[in-house]
Amino acid sequence: MRKVVSSVLVVFMCLFMFTGCHDDRTLEQKISKSEIDRFVNEQKQTQDYIQNCDDMSLEIKGNEIYLTFRVKYSLNNEQMQEFKRLAEMSAVRSTIEPTKDRFEKFYKTRPDKISVKYYTKGGQLICNIEG
């Protein structure tokens, strides 16, 4: 589970590669759909993704970033609570504000919100971490 959570760091770092520099467009305008699709496809080839996830998506609406992961396995309530606890205490939570700061510093565009959602194999929401 920690591998799934830590893979979000890679997502944030790669987003910086796809944004333009110093203009007034929103992140949605700066990052093309083909760039997002290419990034998602690259992430789906990583070992962490292959071992732990069935699906992921990345959506940018205006200046809001939405990441969704569906884990490869079913979880009981106790496992879901542990996953949620780890995700909320982990790098996912601690990287949201620094990621916003980086966007603002380097691209003059600060995300209004970053949302990271994890779902079970059956589609049940495990947690939604926003900042």
Supply the range of the domain harboring residue 111.
2-130
pLDDT(21) > 60 = no
pLDDT(11) > 70 = no
Q: Residue 20: what pLDDT?
A: 46
Q: How many domains are contained in the chain?
A: 1
Considering the entire predicted model, what is its pTM? 0.74
Please check whether residue 95 is in contact with residue 8, taking contact to mean a CB–CB distance below 8 angstroms: yes
Q: What is the arithmetic mean of pLDDT over 12-37?
A: 71
The residue assigned the tokens 């495990």 is: 126
pLDDT(46) > 60 = yes
The CA-atom distances, in angstroms, between 40 and each of 10, 26, 68 are 11, 20, 11
Q: Residue 17: what pLDDT?
A: 55
Q: What is the arithmetic mean of pLDDT over 28-53?
A: 86
Q: Give, in degrees to the nearest 5, the angle at Cα 21 between 25 and 67.
A: 65
Region for 62 from its dihedrals, namely left if φ exceeds 0, alpha if ψ lies in -120 to 50, beta otherwise: left
